[in-house]
Structure 1
Amino acid sequence: MTAPRDRGADAPGTDPERLWLGPTEPRRGRKPSFSRETITSAAVALADAEGLEAVTMRRVAAAVGAGVMSLYSYAPDKETLLELMVDQVSGELPAEPPTGDWRADLKAVARAQRAHMLRHPWLPAVLFAHRTPGPRTLAFLEHVLTVLRPTGLDGAAKLEVFSQLTAFVASHVGYELTRTAARSPERVAAESRYLAAIAADGRHPELAEALTAPPRPLTPEATFTRFLNRLVDGLDSD
């Protein structure tokens, strides 16, 4: 029998009924010494330490001390494994009781998501692929919908707000991670000299005015907060 191949984000979607509503342990054969959660935890640890490229069925099998073929009863391909990974780490997201101030509560949700994605740097890219929410993800979604109840938005609009917020956080964290990795002191100095030259060339008056405006705090936290405030404070209506 040919073993299933590792598949990436372009693979056909995983059957959500089989994945989330079916049994989590094989029905036949001897009871294995590991579980689906053990396999998923090993995959998450690999992704956290070495990046998503390190997550192969062979590497995960080695981490749990199993043969590769024995993993396919739990996760037949990498796409399914990614679904399990996303849902497992979603269980780390806090769900504090809403205060009734939905804007403040929604901003707290976004800050928790940012911290969560910074702990798992592989997560932003994975979230942009289609994912079917598992039980832990659904619990967090339920929390966010409860936070949004005071807005008076209908259910579809609340789901859109959740998607919009998550996409913003994932995009921002992805930018943060890439920017941090690429910006050496020399690169920062070169960018500053380049922009100063552009501002002085007389051909970009609007940009020159923007560049000479009073500076704002540029720490990752301060920048994220400004962007988040603009997003959430503008959610006044459908």
Structure 2
Amino acid sequence: MPRERGVEATGVDPERLWLSSSTQPRRGRKPAYSREVITAAAVALADAEGLEAVTIRKVAARVGAGAMSLYSYAPDKETLLELMIDHVSAELPTTHTPTTAWRAELKAIAHLQRAHMLRHPWLPAALATRRTPGPNTLAFLERALAALRPTGLDGAAKLEVFAQLTAFVAGHVAHEIAQAEASRSPDRTAAEARYLTAVASDGRHPELAEALAAPGRPLTPEATFTRFLNRLIDGLDTA
């Protein structure tokens, strides 16, 4: 009997998952559900309650099915997670106008990824465990690789750049979400400000004191992300 599994990798077969000629069970009576419907229900559950809330049983309840009937579509949570990631990746635009301004295109891609992950806050954690990019994910990867063509980098280096960019965006969004949660506690925010002020004035942290005394910069999430992204992309070495 299939059992619920955690998010940790347990060995999804990418050929069976993505190259199968049919996404429907082949035996028995006509299926009452589709993989698309089940995956969409799982995504809605993760969006509403977080990744930890996603189980085969809860997804089954959302679509009005018995848990056992869903195992033909997603035998474990890892498989379901792969399906969820690729399902939402269909939201990412894949059209690309050839240009030599590859840095600008990479920045545009990163901003698309950030907005995408903010719509689905479970994605940064999910991406850290995924192993097998599906068709929608590959379509977006194709856009990124096309954007990198003017750099002259070899194929392996292009893949590394895209992986680095995605990891940066995922890490930043995870931090951004955590900071937004923390900011909902004004007492904690005020206490942190008082603490840093005290540390900066104790004479033992001159570098920190100088940094905190520097003119402030826009601290909106968008502005902060853009500054960090610019440092990353502008500093890429294509030699």
Whether these two folds match at TM > 0.5 is yes
Matches within 5 A, 1:47-86: 47-86=46-85
Q: Does 1:204 align with 2:202?
A: no
Unaligned 5+ segments in structure 1 are none
Residue 237 of structure 1 and its aligned partner are, at CA, apart by 1.7
**Amino acid of the structure 2 residue aligned with 1:18:** R
CA contact 1:99–1:105 (8 Å) conserved in 2? no
Determine if contact 1:98/1:146 at 8 Å carries over to the other structure. no
Structure 2 residue aligned with 1:193: 194
Q: TM-score, normalised by structure 1?
A: 0.96
Cα RMSD between the aligned structures? 1.1
For residues 146-185 of structure 1, the aligned pairs below 5 Å read: 146-183=146-183, 184-185=185-186
How far apart in 1 are the matches of 2:96 and 2:224? 27
1:42-73 deviations in Å (ceiling 9; x for gaps): 00000000111221111111111211111111
Q: SS of 1:24's equivalent?
A: coil
> After TM superposition, where is structure 1 displaced by more than 6 Å over at least 4 residues in a row?
none
122-131 or 81-90: which moved more? 122-131
Query: Which residue pairs with 1:6 in the alignment?
Result: 4
Aligned length: 236
- Aligned-pair distance for 1:130? 3.5
Gaps of 5+ in 2: none
CA distance in 2, matches of 1:54, 1:199: 42
State the 1:99 CA deviation: 5.0
TM superposition shift of 1:122 = 0.5
Q: Which amino acid aligns with 1:56?
A: T
In the alignment, is the contact (CA less than 8 A) between 2:6 and 2:77 conserved in 1?
Answer: yes
- Give 1:11 deviation, angstroms: 4.0
Q: Does 1:216 align with 2:217?
A: yes
Q: For residue 14 of structure 2, what is the aligned residue in structure 1? A: 16
Q: Contact 2:39–2:87 at 8 Å: present in 1 too?
A: yes
Residues of 2 paired with 1:96 and 1:229: CA distance?
23
Q: Which is further off, 3-12 or 228-237?
A: 3-12
